[in-house]
Structure 1
Amino acid sequence: MTHESETAGLQRLLAHPDGLTLVAKLPAIHSPADILSATSKLKSEGYDAELIAAALTQQRLRAKAETKFGPFAADLLFTTEGLEQATRLDIAARHAQRFRDAGCTRVADLGCGIGTEAFAFAGLGLDVVAVDADETHAALALLNLRTFPGVSVHHARIEDLGLAALGVDGAFADPARRGSGERRFDPETWSPPLSSILALRDEVPNLGIKVAPGIAYEHFPADVAVQWTSVAGSVVEAAIWCGALAPEGSSRTALVLAADDTSATYRADISSPRAPSPTVPVAELGTYLHEVDGAILRAGALSAVADTLGAGLISARISYLTSDAPADLVGVTSFKVDAVLPAKTKTLAAELKKRDIGSLEILKRGTDIVPDVLRRQLKLRGERAATLIMTRIDGRHRAVLASRC
């Protein structure tokens, strides 16, 4: 379904007097058979095909949204684009906590999309002014936030607003980072540009900005805190925090939220968020190899982990660490080194056969191999499992056969 047809279907659904009731009465959809059954039933009740398709799309998006919103997804409305760009509700709740801890009582959610951030802000008792330039998303935000009396929603461009006139003491901005369906990596091509959003500090010093995780340090002001967040090993966002929203001061940090509900924060040893990351010395490969969470790497806090572990890099510009003891840190996975082998398919195949290895996890850094292709070439046969790490050791291509700790 194209963006235009999805939007048209949603608008038709919202305009129909029984549209929202139709979505609410739909059963759970788990298979094509469920779709056919629901479609047949709704047609027999007099609903037209376009309205049914729009309702089923919402049901599909709600099921997909459960990973971000949990049980709240069942009461929200989405577009595919809005869901993709929406902040996870648990992360949005952490944003809201920052604003409340900073003493903010009325927050502007700029570029609110379907209303996720505003939902979290209002859930903590903050008054919210939600704004989006997209008419469909503004309409969805209005519906998704309808149960909160302290929320108002505006269809407007961030550039055309006067924040002081809105009476807010805090603002959160999520600029559009896509154009013509493609990601825009230069922050000055975002809508609005990053520099324009940072200028809003003159009106509201307590400003938060959601940015692309791959943003270069040179784009940060010297007096802000920047935090990267990962969830269960995936980097989900980066955000700039200004004013009282940055109690940690000028910094780069990584917040790691593990799948087992543990968490940890790592801080880069730098004097300014614009500064280059501290270097980590290369060390001889020890008993253990450590893989570090992507948020830690993006924040430039690898040296903090290395110092804690007494570890070094296995090779220059390769972010695997090594030491003689396993790590007990959130966001760090340790592997016991069983063998170091030449990175040659025939040699590896023979060694894996000798070790009776038939199940192989393949990790890589510093090499252009394709794990699935290599796995097929190795023609695995055996009863045991192992991890194969294709990388560089002291600058040379090597294969590390290892066991997860």
Structure 2
Amino acid sequence: MDAFLVERILSDDGRSLLDSLPSYDPASVMALTTRLRAQGHDPELVSAVLTQSALRHRAVEKFGPDAARMFFTPDGLEQATRPRIADGHAARFAAAGVNHVYDLGCGIGSDARAFARAGLAVHAFDLDPATAAIARANLPGGTTVSVEDVTTADVPSHVGVWLDPARRTSGVADITGRTRRTFRLEDLLPSWNFVTALGASGRAVGAKLSPSFPRSALPDGASAQWTSLGGEVLECCVWFGPVADDSRFTARVLTATDDVVIRSEHIAAETDSVDGLAAFLYEADRAVVRAGVTGALADAVDGTELAPGLGHVTGDVRVDVPYARRYRVRQAVPFNIKNLRAWLRSNDIGRVTVKKRGVRFDDARFVRDLKLKGDASALILVTRLAQSQIVLVLEPDDSDEPDPRP
């Protein structure tokens, strides 16, 4: 989307045409296009406002009712931070006493909007004129938006700095036509070296990165926080200077009712045999696993971990943990198709849902080899315990029965 077309969309005529459109319905786009052109509207503008209408429709999942008043690009919408997460970024700067933030690479302005909501002064930058114009339209009056190469911007030493480096390869599209995503630190724009140099300057600096950020890449003196929303890990933020945590690695887990930060320097004890499995299995949120803080879950449930890095903890205590799912363990056996098949048949199980963690196999062949017969269903987890593979038959546990301990 070029800057001239964005300017037309943001003009009074463009906004008026966009606001006049009915609720987006993909089945009616062709007829609506024909009608608008017949009314004398420029075909290029019609196409642009219909694209905006479609993007606003998609954006409701991220931005709720605010989407109806915002402007987007396809890549900008996909990379934009959800408001609830962005509010946490802003709160961190505010808690550190920062009152002015330079947003270097603001995209459509989702984080900058959160900074402004928190009462912070914001100076936003983007290299692309069209994206900067859209950010300007999305941000409240008084917010400065500059079209500038952020690597050459004059950043005062007293301001906080926020970066959301582009994680897309310019000029390379995927099969959907969108710019191809990249997960390598060396492909970020601005570069990872630029980010870390700013972080080393002593400023309050935060950078939003991919959830696949490797723990080993975290610079000394910085902290990293993986954030999930509704069970999906959406980002890893690296924080420097006054906004860094005392704990190098943390997880932030957002659910419909909770906003929990998990930290732990504790390495959980491991279960050493199938016989050591307890009544419950807890499966940590993936942000907890990414951050390597499953020890906090083991402490919370007085349990032990099945295998390092997988996020599975077993224990006899029933505890409601907002960053983990709890299951009852119906059966636990070493990975053996014949023995598992016999147990499933003896329990009249003819349908299974298969989960796996830390192991690789063909799911379809696995189910086919079980030769299931019966009317009941079961949840099967294939995972590791110490150096061996095991199979657990589980059922979700959300009952209010008393704790099973004597």
User: What is the TM-score when the length of structure 2 is the normalising length?
Assistant: 0.85
Gap runs ≥5 in structure 1: 1-5, 271-277
Deviations 1:41-96 (A, max 9, x none): 31232224333222221111111111211111111111111011111111111111
DSSP-derived class of the 1:18 partner: helix
Per-residue deviation at 1:354? 5.0
Moved more, 346-355 or 82-91: 346-355
Q: Which amino acid aligns with 1:282?
A: T
Structure-1 separation of matches of 2:359 and 2:4: 46
- Note if 1:268 corresponds to 2:258: no
Q: Conserved in 2, the CA contact under 8 Å of 1:13 and 1:55?
A: no
Cα distance 1:338–1:91, how it changes in 2: closer, same or farther (>3 A)?
A: same
Per-residue deviation at 1:17? 5.7
Cα distance 1:188–1:16, how it changes in 2: closer, same or farther (>3 A)?
A: same
Q: Which amino acid aligns with 1:269?
A: E
- Note if 1:100 corresponds to 2:105: no
User: What is the TM-score when the length of structure 1 is the normalising length?
Assistant: 0.85
Cα distance 1:281–1:379, how it changes in 2: closer, same or farther (>3 A)?
A: closer
Gap runs ≥5 in structure 2: 173-178, 398-406
Deviations 1:8-47 (A, max 9, x none): 8954743776222211111112341x22342233123222
Structure-2 separation of matches of 1:17 and 1:132: 24
Per-residue deviation at 1:113? 0.4
Q: How does 1:85-234 map to 2 (within 5 A)?
A: 85-145=79-139, 148-164=140-156, 169-179=159-169, 180=172, 181-201=179-199, 205-234=203-232
Aligned to 1:387: 379
Q: Which amino acid aligns with 1:281?
A: E
Q: Conserved in 1, the CA contact under 8 Å of 2:200 and 2:240?
A: no
Structure-2 separation of matches of 1:171 and 1:352: 57
Q: Which amino acid aligns with 2:258?
A: T
Per-residue deviation at 1:150? 2.5
- Note if 1:70 corresponds to 2:88: no
Aligned to 1:254: 251
Deviations 1:313-346 (A, max 9, x none): 2245543221223332111111111123565667
Q: Conserved in 1, the CA contact under 8 Å of 2:333 and 2:391?
A: yes
Structure-1 separation of matches of 2:31 and 2:329: 54
Structure-1 separation of matches of 2:167 and 2:389: 37
Q: Percent identity?
A: 35
Number of residues paired by the alignment?
A: 386
RMSD: 2.8
Per-residue deviation at 1:135? 2.2
Cα distance 1:201–1:335, how it changes in 2: closer, same or farther (>3 A)?
A: closer
Cα distance 1:280–1:26, how it changes in 2: closer, same or farther (>3 A)?
A: farther
DSSP-derived class of the 1:172 partner: strand
Cα distance 1:120–1:31, how it changes in 2: closer, same or farther (>3 A)?
A: same
Aligned to 1:275: none
Deviations 1:234-266 (A, max 9, x none): 1111112223223x42521111112x3223211
Q: Conserved in 2, the CA contact under 8 Å of 1:280 and 1:302?
A: no
Q: How does 1:301-380 map to 2 (within 5 A)?
A: 301-315=293-307, 318-341=310-333, 343=335, 351-352=343-344, 355-357=347-349, 360-371=352-363
Structure-2 separation of matches of 1:51 and 1:307: 59
Per-residue deviation at 1:308? 2.3
Structure-2 separation of matches of 1:26 and 1:380: 53
Deviations 1:330-387 (A, max 9, x none): 1111111112356566765665455454654321112223556756776777654431
